[in-house]
Amino acid sequence: MGPTLEKLLYRGLLMAPFLNRQTYGLDMIASASLFSLIHLYQYPWSANAFVIYFVYGLGFAGIYRFSKNMSLAILAHVSVNILLSMPYILYLLEV
């Protein structure tokens, strides 16, 4: 789906209405849970994968929650994707 569309869905639609309200983090948990569930197509029903994606989703949600800046959350997601892809990219480049 890509970081930009994901942020608009998980953070923009799910969290934006609650940014100025006290939700005790429930908006972040809901957003991270949805982020994890959507990413499980790569690892069907893996508890480990769910937890890993949940932690990433919680981090991205936290960035958006506390900065109120969607661009920072998108930049963080793109950065993580690039860092996690580097071994594969280097392999393809035969470096």
Q: Is the pTM of this model over 0.85?
A: no
> Tens place of pLDDT for every residue, the chain, 95 residues?
566 777 677 666 667 676 667 777 888 898 899 889 888 887 777 888 899 999 999 999 999 888 988 889 889 999 999 999 999 999 999 87
Number of structural domains, the chain? 1
Domain span at residue 48 reads 3-92
Is there a contact between 84 and 39 (Cβ–Cβ < 8 Å)?
Answer: no
68 vs 93: CA distance, rounded Å: 38
